[in-house]
Amino acid sequence: VTAVRAPWRRIALCGLLVVGTLGLSACNGATDAEKRLREAIRNTEKLSNTFLYTETVHDKAGDHETDVRGLVEDDFRYKARVAEDGKPVLDEVVSDDALAVRFLDPAQMSRFLRKPVKANQGGSGVGGNGNGNSQGLTTPGSAGNLGGAGATPGEPSAAELLATRRWVLDPAGAPSTFATANTDQTLGDDPIADARDAFAYVERAINEAVRVVEFNPESLEYRKDEDPFPTPAPHSGVTRYDFERPNLPKASQTGGGANQVTPDTRHFRKMSVYVKDKRVIKVMEKIDVESRLKDLAEIYDTKFPADRSKAELAAIAVEALNVIRTGQGQDPIRMRDMEFSLKDLGTDVKVDMPTDTTKGSLALLQNRGRPADAANGVLEAAAVRAQAAARPGG
């Protein structure tokens, strides 16, 4: 019996060694793929471009699509148009410190209004607010009429101009270039900022992934039925890099504190980046909760109703997780599909300010306007909200 068993043991051992070796080689490959991808990001973010950022959010109320289409001359000069469910909402042009905005659909203004909590979050500054603009917390108090806060007497306020689809130019109102510790920026709050921050978002996603691998449909680990993204066309010169997401945390797992570790966006993220000629041409992301419903049910020892669709169950699960997450002070999981496409890389793109503008303070909009105008911006935003609420059906 021993003589018969020995060869099988040897074969099994060899098998393990081969698997181990392949595993190690895969680690090296992932590292190289990640380096190549990071280099492609560095190459691309330096270039002027035209872009299209599309985000479709799935929640219990259904699907909502937001598009941001724009062009970037450099990091301080760009223009963008926001559309919601195909309907143009907002145009924004930034040229150094100057910001011009118009609402094509003023009814959608509320999404972009300054939040009432913090008044120290203006735009401008070279790379944020510095760290000395604190004007403390401001409560809206009594919201005046639209012509009140921040307006020159006798002249229409920015809110009034924006409500009539006119351009408003704030010569020093450009948004903070990037999210900083001082900017309260949650994904989805400001779609233009999300689009402009796309590369930083991808870098964070790389950091949060288990590893980055080059797309290989012949890999033993590849599952076509779990792949939501298109395959690069043969001979197109396009390389696709896929992000491998981590397993869900166990229910018993705690972080540094006493809190249970709740699943994060990273645990549901599927992301692929398409690179051609060492430049990023497209990023695709799917926050795929449906594919992890079974794992969630096992980890949290729960049963999802059998009479609901997977999409409905995913929305319910995310809502439940977000209750915990927001209670712990964490950003909610945004169940979304995102696509960020780049064209005209490195071409001679120029951003011109619109000519038919009226000067005014745009501090009523979140993360925009001079920091010194932020307190007035809070008041003006509150007045706009109050008017919208007072309108029939508002």
Partner 1 sequence: VTAQRLRCFGAVVAAALALAGCARSGASVAPTPGKAVKTLEIGNLPPDLLGLKLAPENVSDDLAKVPAAFIDALSLYSLRHNDLVMATLQVSRFNAGADVNAEKFRQTVVNQIGASAPRTVRLGASTVYLTTGTKQSIAVWFKDRYLFVLATRADYDEPRTLLRKALEIRP
Q: Where do contacts with partner 1 occur on this chain (CB under 8 A)?
A: 45-46, 74-76, 96-97, 124-133, 171-172, 174, 177-178, 180-181, 370-372
CA distances in angstroms from 340 to 137, 238, 281, listed in the order given: 36, 16, 8
How far apart (Å, rounded) are the C-alpha atoms in residues 271 and 286?
6
User: Nearest approach, Cβ of 174 to partner 1 (angstroms)?
Assistant: 7
Helices (H), 183-301: 191-196, 198-208, 293-299
> Which residues face 279 on adjacent strands?
276
Choose between 184 and 288: whose C-beta lies nearer to partner 1. 184
Choose between 132 and 237: whose C-beta lies nearer to partner 1. 132
How far apart (Å, rounded) are the C-alpha atoms in residues 106 and 316?
32
Find, among 167, 168, 163, the residue nearest to 146 by Cα: 163
User: Nearest approach, Cβ of 337 to partner 1 (angstroms)?
Assistant: 28
User: Nearest approach, Cβ of 155 to partner 1 (angstroms)?
Assistant: 20
Helices (H), the chain: 2-45, 158-163, 191-196, 198-208, 293-299, 310-327, 374-390
Choose between 74 and 298: whose C-beta lies nearer to partner 1. 74
Choose between 351 and 383: whose C-beta lies nearer to partner 1. 351
Choose between 174 and 364: whose C-beta lies nearer to partner 1. 174
User: Nearest approach, Cβ of 108 to partner 1 (angstroms)?
Assistant: 28
User: Nearest approach, Cβ of 206 to partner 1 (angstroms)?
Assistant: 16
Choose between 191 and 371: whose C-beta lies nearer to partner 1. 371
Residue labelled with tokens 């948004």: 175
CA distances in angstroms from 98 to 49, 169, 172, listed in the order given: 20, 7, 5
User: Nearest approach, Cβ of 140 to partner 1 (angstroms)?
Assistant: 23
